Structure 1
Amino acid sequence: MLFSDMKQLTIKAEDGLLLSATLFETEAPKALVQIIHGSVEHKERYYEFAQYLCDHNYAVIISDNRGHGASVNTQYPLGFMDGVDQIIADQYVISKYICLLYPEIKLYLFGHSLGSVFARCYLRKHDDQIAKLVLSGTVHYNPFTPLGIMLTKAAIAISGKHAYNKLLRDAVMNNDDLSWLSENKENIEAYKADPLCGFAYPNSSVLTVMQGVQQLKESKHYQFKNNNLHILSISGKGDPVTGGTAGLRKSFRLLQRIGYHNFEQIVFPGMKHEVLNETNRLEVFNSVLYFFEQD
């Protein structure tokens, strides 16, 4: 598939890491959309969705999270993350970049899977930077997360940040059986064949994921400056990552505890985790567009 209006960028993070990003440009955009991708994947998997939004007059930016795709160096090789706060700082740098390009234009944030965790962590300090939030494949809070953090810190103390622990790794991402990922078999095969997908997370990255999930529950640490934030959750009916109806309900309760109250939810039948890559994904694209078009 060919993508027009696309510009490749490198944006310097606070610590000097060059974040690889792609900007889908349009003149006089209705709004700006910043996309945060999920675990063990990369930005290119969102190009079709980004082009769709751009075709409807939205400027879109998506970066590879550090340790993913092309946002790597010797200190941050593929798969390595070193704390959730650093990931959020990177995303804030991306926000500032696109908002400088398009001043006075509203910014919407879209996060898929682990990106939905990072997007909610972004709210802690920066909810006043965005007007709308879309959570895709909305990860729910796991009550065993504190135990997981304790065990992962112990593993780091014993074997180091860069070591691998299969038990801990599988606790946050099981790539042995990908049937949960999608109803679209072609999507699963493409994921398996992609060298920038499905790689293993070392201990430090496992801890980063768990820290992000734990922050979902720490409502007192959210500054809560934007009580008008409009939030949409989209997920597949067959997605185990959300925790089902009960898990989605708990996710909304945690947001309500912070103070947010303006929620919408769409659960798509016949879909699993990657709703943007299902065969009938246009239905999902249209639903997100409709949400963005609302006043």
Structure 2
Amino acid sequence: MRIEKILSEFDGLGLEIAVIVPEGNPKGVIQFSHGMAEHKERYYDFMNYLSDHGYVCVIHDHRGHGGSVEKAEDYGFFYTENEQAIIEDLHTVTKYIKHIYSGLPVFLFSHSMGTLVARGYLKRYDSEIDKVVLCGPPTYNAAAGLGLLLARLSKPFIKEKAPNKMLNAMAFSQFNAGNSIPNGWLSENQANVAQYNQDPKCGFIFTTNGFVNLLRLQKAAFEKRNWHVSNPHLPILVIAGEEDPVIRSRKRFEQLIAFLSELGYTNISSKLYEHMRHEILNEEKKLDVYKDILLFYDEFQHTTSYSQV
């Protein structure tokens, strides 16, 4: 594994990335877009699994997360209210991948908030990737507009880099109903939840600025305007835990798939996993999920030769 810093083409923010390279000739590159209030290291187990099966894996910390901050106290702060920044960061990493691993197919894996970033990415760059997984995707939420209004109204009363506890409570207070420990909604695997709660780089509360970005991403993900489908046959896999509060319900999950189809994507598959919550990559039966995702990526046939710059 190697750790590097590259600069966002949006504003020059340093983005910390991790790269895991398999032995022998790789089959492709899998780029990751992680979720809210976590960091790239939480994906290393899955990345090692994919690398063992022939894939280069590349992940970066989103701005305001992990190593992609100017100061440690900037967690949850995005340095801009333009939600295109985090999308362009993802594209910056794609360009880095294509420079180093020219000729290999590039697949995208996204989780939770990372699927909102990925969907914003698809609006402009769906021809630059060969497959995409949307894992634990937020579904349509009509309250996103109200959340944006409240974010703007709260600005004068909360310091720029202070956590916005009001917006956080509005967004997530219902998720943990019925759970005996904080963030129990993340996983049925209580050891995973405990590890998350003990991790200083996880579970932080977004600033107002962070919530503005999140809510704008949420709204944009369900706006058909400006969505330029140039790769209608792009294989898309949509997966989630059946008990994941982020998808809200099976009906909303199916509506998301219908929305993607209405946009013009014709190659969509999906699966809900029984007895799993939001972080299906960290459940006790995670290997079942690993295998399904690997199968989805492996079904891609590619013959272009690979050259490393």
Tell me the TM-score normalised to structure 1 length.
Answer: 0.94
Distance 2:267 2:249 in 1: 20
TM superposition shift of 1:167:
2.1
Give the structure 2 partner of residue 231 of structure 1: 236
Distance 1:163 1:130, change over 3 A: same
2:199 matched to 1:194?
A: yes
Distance 1:122 1:8 in 2: 24
TM superposition shift of 1:236:
0.8
Structure 2: unaligned runs, 5 residues or longer: 301-309
Identity across the alignment (%): 36
Give the structure 1 partner of residue 274 of structure 2: 269
Once the two structures are overlaid, the 10-residue window that deviates more, 99-108 or 256-265, is 256-265
2:288 matched to 1:283?
A: yes
DSSP 3-state at the match of 1:221: coil
Q: Does the CA-based 8 Å contact 1:172-1:209 persist in structure 2?
A: no
Structure 1 letter corresponding to 2:12: G
DSSP 3-state at the match of 2:148: helix
2:65 matched to 1:60?
A: no
Give the structure 2 partner of residue 47 of structure 1: 44
2:16 matched to 1:20?
A: yes
Distance 1:266 1:208 in 2: 28
Give the structure 1 partner of residue 307 of structure 2: none
Q: Does the CA-based 8 Å contact 2:74-2:161 persist in structure 1?
A: no
Distance 1:133 1:17, change over 3 A: same
Distance 2:89 2:255 in 1: 28
Distance 1:169 1:272 in 2: 20
Q: Does the CA-based 8 Å contact 2:34-2:110 persist in structure 1?
A: yes
Correspondence list, 1:113-192, <5 A: 113-156=112-155, 159=158, 161-174=160-173, 177-192=182-197
Distance 2:118 2:215 in 1: 14
DSSP 3-state at the match of 2:118: helix
**1:3-28, Cα deviation, whole Å (9 max, x unpaired):** xxx11111111222111110011342
Distance 1:258 1:156 in 2: 35
DSSP 3-state at the match of 1:180: helix
Which of 31, 34, 38 is residue 34 of structure 1 equivalent to?
A: 31
Once the two structures are overlaid, the 10-residue window that deviates more, 219-228 or 35-44, is 219-228
Tell me the TM-score normalised to structure 2 length.
Answer: 0.90
Once the two structures are overlaid, the 10-residue window that deviates more, 158-167 or 183-192, is 158-167
TM superposition shift of 1:146:
1.1
Q: Does the CA-based 8 Å contact 2:32-2:108 persist in structure 1?
A: yes
Once the two structures are overlaid, the 10-residue window that deviates more, 280-289 or 159-168, is 159-168
Q: Does the CA-based 8 Å contact 1:161-1:203 persist in structure 2?
A: yes
TM superposition shift of 1:75:
10
Give the structure 1 partner of residue 94 of structure 2: 95
Q: Does the CA-based 8 Å contact 1:66-1:76 persist in structure 2?
A: no
DSSP 3-state at the match of 2:185: coil
TM superposition shift of 1:227:
0.8
Distance 2:256 2:83 in 1: 19
Distance 1:71 1:149, change over 3 A: same
DSSP 3-state at the match of 1:33: strand
TM superposition shift of 1:56:
0.3
DSSP 3-state at the match of 1:218: coil
Q: Does the CA-based 8 Å contact 1:169-1:203 persist in structure 2?
A: no
Structure 1 letter corresponding to 2:87: I
TM superposition shift of 1:30:
1.1
**CA RMSD, aligned part only?**
1.7
Structure 2 letter corresponding to 1:101: I
Distance 1:29 1:247 in 2: 37
DSSP 3-state at the match of 1:61: strand
Distance 1:79 1:164 in 2: 8
